[in-house]
């Protein structure tokens, strides 16, 4: 039953993508209400899926790569629901939906929904560590989306070629401020996630620790560069995209190598 | 009842012809002279149109005679290119006009205000009855629908408004922006005023003639800067409007580069409306600098117009739906007395006409 909930959720997000593409092709771009509704509905089904799965497992549903991807997609949608209306970034829904479809589509199609061979007892620290880190990834994902929006808007302004979407994107200054806020949110949550990992009472796998610290350092460098004005906003936006791609690849790596020897 | 529209516009007549028919008639005089039950006169710089309802058919010549400024002259003398739309064609035409589809600048919104004014004037004089009331109320709704559901009114189409529009796309709120006007020309003054109208409060003016700079600064509520100091201002300002008569580039990459290093995280929007240009075009390649000269501003205006034209099909589809719906409702509704909410606050003449 839970997979059906996820399928319905994916269809909702897909509807937002199709709607956006159709409107872009028609040259009439009015994504606001429909996209927010579609993403909102998709979010409800995502939450329902995670709730059902969580009840079945008796713990936070982050036990395999399938659940990690769905939880990440949920975090992205959650961040959008929080950030979108707050910063009047309704168009962000048009950019968020494809990422969620991609994450959930992959989770549904790839054979990664393997049930855990040993039923490990629930540990609140492990659950807190895993869930908060994934929500932090959601913030990084949204920073990446805002980065894409920034680069599109910046490119149009530089080349003097303005398309229909230009009039719906927020200003460069607003986008840059949003990127910064999302990076700080993500970084704070991720720091909390890493720190809580040390309280789990379990030995930590070496690769996971190295990868997590690598991602933390990457975002710390981006934020430091932004704070000290070493980088122009365009480069910060580009680094948000690169950073999230790297973080996503490492997340996959971390989950695959979860069985490797722990730190001494 | 016949519902019709007779008129001429920028599409069918030049301004010399249009002015022969503008300004002399009123909705009341048309009612008096033609025996129409209801009439409304829409006169703008681009069109003179009469919307009317009559029991017997009123000819185009009769309406033209009412409109003409030359007493006792036959409109056939100038063979004015009047068009005539009846029934649903009339409804469709009005919806297109109100939505800005028939305007010289597609999507402009001034026409809606003018149509509302014309309706109000005719209503006050009692020349509007239930037919035209419903027609115009629906037209206003359709215009709003078209504007909110298409991009027909998106983008600026004049050089000054393009500059302001672009500034908003870069900075969002303009209230915190610092603007420097270099060269106190007419276009830069207009652009500066447009920026002030959108919230800019920190405006500086620099000119070779300090007197002219002070004069303009005073006029727009800014402050003057000695011409020798303008370049140093680039460290602080967000928007530079330049229009001097200099024969050589005043701002080059070499001059700007050291200042940009100090403001790496803040964009600089440069509007160069001088010919020859005041700013080296290569400045646009610099990080965080957005340079628009007069040609690029015009190009953006043309792109906005092209974008608006792309929206015509979508707008026409919305209008077609409304025309069909309106005609359905009016063909049913006009065979019965209008409901209280639909009835306009009519003058005595119209109420009598309705009762008749």
pLDDT at B340: 39
Q: Residue B199's closest CA among B171, B159, B230?
A: B171
Q: Residue A196's closest CA among A135, A119, A258?
A: A135
Residues of A in contact with B287 (CB under 8 A): 232, 234
Q: Which parts of chain B sit beneath pLDDT 70?
A: 69-80, 332-356
pLDDT digits (tens, 9 = 90+) for A193-210: 999 888 877 777 778 888
- C-alpha distances in angstroms, B253 versus A80, A130, A188, B182, B217? 40, 50, 39, 18, 28
Contact A173, A157 (CB under 8 A): no
What is d(CA B189, CA B181) in angstroms, rounded to the nearest whole number?
8
pLDDT at B349: 42
Residues of A in contact with B290 (CB under 8 A): 157-158
What is d(CA B184, CA B170) in angstroms, rounded to the nearest whole number?
24
Helices (H) and strands (E) in chain B, counts: 13, 10
pLDDT at B178: 94
Contact B2, B57 (CB under 8 A): yes
Cis peptide before A186 (omega within 30 of 0): no
Asked if B169 has any chain A CB less than 8 Å from its own CB, the reply is yes
pLDDT at A191: 95
pLDDT of residue A174 exceeding 80: yes
Determine whether the interchain pair A174/B290 forms a contact, defined as Cβ–Cβ distance below 8 Å.
Answer: no
Please, which pLDDT band fits residue A11 given cuts at 50, 70 and 90? very high
The three-state secondary structure class of B37 is coil
Asked if B316 has any chain A CB less than 8 Å from its own CB, the reply is no
The three-state secondary structure class of B267 is coil
Predicted ipTM beyond 0.95:
no
Determine whether the interchain pair B267/A233 forms a contact, defined as Cβ–Cβ distance below 8 Å.
Answer: yes
pLDDT digits (tens, 9 = 90+) for A201-237: 777 777 888 888 999 999 999 999 988 888 899 999 9
The DSSP annotation for A169-231 comes to SPPHHHHHHHHHHHHHHHHHHHHHHHHHHTTSSSPPBHHHHHHHHHHHHHHHHHHHHHHTT-S
pLDDT at A114: 74
- CB-neighbour burial class of residue A52 (10 A; exposed 0-12, middle 13-18, buried 19+): middle
pLDDT at A153: 94
pLDDT at B95: 95
- CB-neighbour burial class of residue B335 (10 A; exposed 0-12, middle 13-18, buried 19+): exposed
Average pLDDT of A173-182? 92
- From the candidates B5, B36, B45, B177, give the one annotated as an active-site residue: B45
pLDDT at B247: 85
pLDDT at B344: 43
Residues of B in contact with A157 (CB under 8 A): 166, 169-170, 290
Determine whether the interchain pair B310/A27 forms a contact, defined as Cβ–Cβ distance below 8 Å.
Answer: yes
Residues of B in contact with A165 (CB under 8 A): none
Determine whether the interchain pair B267/A229 forms a contact, defined as Cβ–Cβ distance below 8 Å.
Answer: no
The pTM of the full predicted model, rounded to 2 decimals, is 0.76
pLDDT of residue A122 exceeding 60: yes
Catalytic residue list contains B90: no
pLDDT of residue A87 exceeding 60: no
């Amino acid at each position: 039953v839970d997979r059906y909930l996820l399928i319905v959720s994916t269809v909702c997000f897909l509807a937002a993508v199709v709607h956006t593409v159709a409107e872009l092709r028609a040259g009439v771009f009015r994504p606001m209400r429909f996209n927010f509704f579609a993403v909102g509905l998709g979010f409800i089904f995502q939450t329902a899926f995670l709730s059902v799965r969580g009840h079945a497992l008796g713990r936070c549903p982050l036990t395999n790569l399938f659940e990690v991807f769905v939880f990440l997609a949920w975090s992205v949608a959650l961040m959008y629901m929080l950030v979108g209306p707050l910063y009047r970034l309704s168009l962000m829904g048009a950019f968020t939906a494809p990422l969620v479809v991609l994450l959930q589509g992959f989770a549904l199609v790839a054979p990664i929904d393997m049930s855990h061979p040993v039923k490990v007892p629930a540990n609140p620290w492990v659950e807190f560590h895993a869930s908060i880190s994934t929500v932090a990834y959601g913030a990084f994902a949204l920073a990446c989306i805002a980065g894409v929006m920034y680069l599109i808007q910046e490119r149009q302004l530089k080349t003097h070629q303005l398309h229909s979407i230009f009039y719906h994107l927020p200003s460069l200054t607003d986008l840059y401020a949003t990127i910064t806020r999302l990076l700080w949110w993500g970084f704070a949550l991720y720091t909390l996630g890493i720190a809580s990992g040390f309280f789990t009472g379990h030995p930590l796998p070496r690769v996971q620790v190295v990868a997590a610290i690598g991602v933390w350092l990457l975002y710390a460098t981006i934020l430091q560069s932004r704070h000290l004005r070493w980088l122009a906003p365009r480069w910060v936006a580009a680094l948000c995209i690169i950073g999230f791609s790297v973080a996503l690849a490492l997340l996959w790596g971390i989950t695959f190598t979860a069985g490797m020897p722990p730190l001494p | 009842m016949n519902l019709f529209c007779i008129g001429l516009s920028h599409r069918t007549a030049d301004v010399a012809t249009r002015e022969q028919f503008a300004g002399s008639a009123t909705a009341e005089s048309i009612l008096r002279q033609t025996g129409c039950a209801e009439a409304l006169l829409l006169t703008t710089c681009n069109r003179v149109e009469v919307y009317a309802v009559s029991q017997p058919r009123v000819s185009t010549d009769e309406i033209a005679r009412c409109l003409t400024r030359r007493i006792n002259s036959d409109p056939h003398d100038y063979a004015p290119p009047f068009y005539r739309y009846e029934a649903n064609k009339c409804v469709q035409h009005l919806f297109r006009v109100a939505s800005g589809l028939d305007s010289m600048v597609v999507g402009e919104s001034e026409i809606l205000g003018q149509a509302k004014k014309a309706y109000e004037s005719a209503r006050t004089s009692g020349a509007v009855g239930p037919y035209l009331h419903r027609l115009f109320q629906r037209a206003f709704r359709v215009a709003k629908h078209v504007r909110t559901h298409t991009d027909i009114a998106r983008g600026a189409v004049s050089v000054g408004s393009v500059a302001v529009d672009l500034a908003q796309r870069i900075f969002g709120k303009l209230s915190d922006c610092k603007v420097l006007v270099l060269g106190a020309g007419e276009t830069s003054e207009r652009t500066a005023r447009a920026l002030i109208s959108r919230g800019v409060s920190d405006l500086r003016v620099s000119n070779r003639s300090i007197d002219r700079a002070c004069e303009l600064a005073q006029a727009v509520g800014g402050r003057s800067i000695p011409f020798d100091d303008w370049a140093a201002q680039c460290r602080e300002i967000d928007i530079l409007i330049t229009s001097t008569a200099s024969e050589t580039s005043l701002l080059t990459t070499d001059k700007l580069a050291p200042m940009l290093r100090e403001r790496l995280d803040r964009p600089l929007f440069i509007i160069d409306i001088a010919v020859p240009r005041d700013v080296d075009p290569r400045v646009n390649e610099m990080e965080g600098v957005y340079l628009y000269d007069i040609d690029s501003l015009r190009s953006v205006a043309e792109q906005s117009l092209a974008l608006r034209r792309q929206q015509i099909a979508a707008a026409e589809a919305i209008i077609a739906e409304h025309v069909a719906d309106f005609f359905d409702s009016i063909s049913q509704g006009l065979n019965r007395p209008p409901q209280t909410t639909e009835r306009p606050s009519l003058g005595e003449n119209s109420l009598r006409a309705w009762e008749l």
